[in-house]
Amino acid sequence: MIQSNGQKAYVEFPLNVTEVEREDGVEYVAETVYSLETTNTANLADRIDANYDAWLLRAKTPEMPQATLEDVVEAVNMLQEMIIGGEL
């Protein structure tokens, strides 16, 4: 399932989908749903269909946030304080 909002697209990959009969019709229930946000393009659905396994793996793998220079400097300063303080 692809939902787009301008330049961004939200893609869902439902796994182990089962069909459940209800009084008001059929409902589809997924055991697990992986999702990701990507750039919206005119051929996004075709690109996903052509490389479904790679897209699913990308959705299953959480993205790590990029460390900023401030984050690195803070980590180095904390490490330096621990070394000077004899904690390491």
Q: Give CA separation, 31 vs 13, 14, 28, 50, 61, in Å.
A: 11, 7, 10, 24, 18
Domain-located, residue 88? no
- Give the model confidence (pLDDT) of 42-79 as tens digits: 999 999 999 999 999 999 997 767 788 888 899 899 99
- pLDDT at residue number 68: 86
Sign of CA dihedral 10, 15, 18, 19: positive
- pLDDT at residue number 88: 64
Domain-located, residue 37? yes
Tell me the residue range of the domain where 38 lies: 2-63
Beta-ladder partners of 29: 18
- pLDDT at residue number 6: 85
- Of the listed ranges 8-17, 24-33, 44-53, 55-64, the least confidently predicted one is 55-64
Domain-located, residue 69? no
Contact between 16 and 31 under an 8 Å Cβ cutoff? The reply is yes
Domain-located, residue 22? yes
> What total of structural domains would you count in the chain?
1
Q: Average pLDDT, whole number, for the chain?
A: 90
Domain-located, residue 84? no
Domain-located, residue 85? no
